[in-house]
Each structure stands twice: as structure tokens, then as C-alpha cells.
Structure 1
Amino acid sequence: MSLKTKTVVIEKGRDAGKTFVITEMPVTKADSWAMRAIFALANAGIDIGDVKPEMGMMGFGQVALKALSSIKAEVGIPLLNELLDCVQIVPTGGTARNMEIDSDVQDVWTLFQLRKDALAIHIDFLAHGGLSTSNS
């Protein structure tokens, strides 16, 4: 099964009309990202209830964006920026390529949107019934 992708067309601001492709992280990278985020939340004193690091993206999805604002900037900013590693830009008439943030993005709102969509592609399974029941 291939990694999920999502095409995002920015609709407002200085980047209106630009197209980006977000590709899901490979499972080990996604799980590592989620565990680091869960540890950051726990170390910030945020009540994460029964969420355990071994729950990976599933656990992180339960506390997501709301709790990120309580993490220290030196921990949270790298986690948020790592979500942008999933994003490629599609130049007009071209093929997707790695994004060069400072030259390809002109609007802070675009960065917010891309981070939000990158997180969503990793936790969208929560809206479709939660954990996999596959035995394979």
C-alpha cells in the first residue's frame, strides 16, 4: 500500500493559487514524530490521560493541535517544522519538487495551513474508526 497524498491549493493571501502536495511520512518516521510530540506534551505537564508513547500517531491524534500551544517553543517549533518536510510545491506547469520555504512561501497563513494538513493526513484514520483491526 502506498503512502497517502493530498493536494492543497492555497485559496487566499500572497500564496493564492499555489499548489502543494503533502505526502504521508513513512511509518517509522511518523511514529517517531508522534512519540517525540507525546513526550513533549507530557514534559510540559499537559494531562494526556491514558495516551502512551507506544500509541504513536493514534495517541497524538487524541491531544493534537490544542495541546501544542503548551509546549516550549524550542521543542514545539522543530516538531511543527518537521511536518513541512512532508510538503512539496508544484510550480505552474511543472512537477512536484521539494519546497524551499523562504522562496516558495510568502504568507505565514500558508505555513499554518500546510502544517495543519500535514498533521491531518497522519491522523485522518481517527475519523474513520480508529485503530486498525488488521492481523497482517
Structure 2
Amino acid sequence: MAIKEVEVKIDKGDDRGKVFVVSSMPAFKADKWARHLVKALTRAGTQMPDDALKAGIAGLAGVAQTIFGYLDDDDADKAFDTLLECVQIRTDPQNIVVKRAVIEEDFEDAETLSLVRAEAFKLNVGFLRAAAFQISPLVAALSPREEQAPTA
């Protein structure tokens, strides 16, 4: 998978005028992030919604808030931190080559932080779908099955 980039120009709020560059993760890193996220969801007692999985990337992107809401704080922080590793800021609007990794001080508006995280999620959500398909059958196979009553 080629690294994709999306430019996010902030046009309102305290971060007006800032430009963030959001990149997809390299394949192995994205796969690891996705597997850890699916495992954390499993530990939390939930699973990826079947309808979202069937809807593909758009379906998973649409349920991101629900997905992250099931995680404990440490797992959510790890997932969000990994997404922010995909974000850089252009420090010189006149020179598009000049950019650096974001730091806390780059975000003055909470809405900006949510927006760039959402873009990073969208770029990497395909790996989440793949990980769910890899891990879910394994979890199902290892889970104890309820005995069914005999039918007459």
C-alpha cells in the first residue's frame, strides 16, 4: 500500500490558517495498530459491528466514535497516539516542503484535534477491517460455545 497523504487546512477557530498533513501508516504499522485495536475491543467485550464491516471502509469510519467509546482509557490513548503519529504540520505556508511532527502546542482548538484524528482514522481504517476479519474467527473458535438443547 502506498503512503497516502491528505492536507487539512483549518479555516475557522483558534487554529485558523494552520495546515496539517495526515499520512497513512506503513502497512506493517497499520496492521499492528489495527490488530491491537481489535484485540482491545474484544477485551472490552465488544466486537466490530457486522453491518459496518460489510459496508467496508465507509461503514467503519461511520462507527469510529462508537468503537473508541468501548475502549478503556489506556487502549484508547494508545490508539489515538498512534493516529497522531500520522500527522504533521506545515510550519511555513510559503514552503510546502517544510513540515514537522505535531506537538500538543500545535492544537489550540479541540475541534482541530478531532478533525485531524478523524482524517488519520479514515486513511488507516482499511487495516482495521482486515484485522477484524483475521481476529474475529480466531476469537469465535476459542470461545466456549453454549450447549444447545436437543430438538425434538
Report the TM range for the smaller structure's normalisation. 0.7 to 0.9
Give, in whole Å, the separation in 2 of the partners of 1:77 and 1:123: 17
Q: For 1:67 and 1:122, how far apart are their aligned partners in 2?
A: 14
TM norm structure 1 = 0.75
SS in 1 for 2:85: helix
Q: Once structures 1 and 2 are overlaid, which stretch shifts more, 22-31 or 6-15?
A: 6-15
From 85, 103, 106, the equivalent of 1:104 is 106
The equivalent of 1:61 in structure 2 is: 60
How far 1:98 moved relative to its partner? 2.1
Unaligned runs of 5+ in 2: 51-55, 128-152
| Counterpart check, 1:79 vs 2:86 | no
The AA in structure 1 aligned to 2:86 is C
- Name 2:18's counterpart in structure 1: 18
Counterpart secondary structure, 2:47: coil
Paired amino acid for 2:72: K
> Deviation digits for residues 18-38 of structure 1, max 9, x if unmatched?
101111100000000000000
- 1:59-82 Cα offsets, whole Å, 9 max, x none, are x93863322111101111121121
- Aligned partner letter, 1:85: E
Structure 2 CA distance for partners of 1:65 and 1:96, relative to 1, 3 Å: farther
1:120 aligns with 2:119: no
The CA RMSD over aligned residues, in Å, is 2.6
When structure 1 is superposed on structure 2, of 26-35 and 96-105 the one drifting more is: 96-105
* % identical aligned pairs: 33
Provide closer, same or farther for how the CA distance between residues 85 and 74 of structure 1 changes in structure 2, counting only shifts above 3 A: same
CA shift, 1:86, in A, is: 0.5
| Structure 1 gaps, min length 5 | 51-56, 126-136
Question: Under a length normalisation based on structure 2, what TM-score does the superposition of the two structures give?
Answer: 0.67
Give the CA deviation at 1:49. 5.7
CA contact (8 A) 1:13 1:107 kept: yes
3-state SS of paired residue (1:61) = helix
| Residue type of the alignment partner of 2:74 | E
Partner of 2:48, secondary structure, is: coil
Structure 2 counterpart of 1:90, one-letter code: R
CA distance in 2 between counterparts of 1:26 and 1:86 reads 10
Q: What displacement does 1:48 show?
A: 2.8
In structure 1, distance between residues paired with 2:15 and 2:23: 20
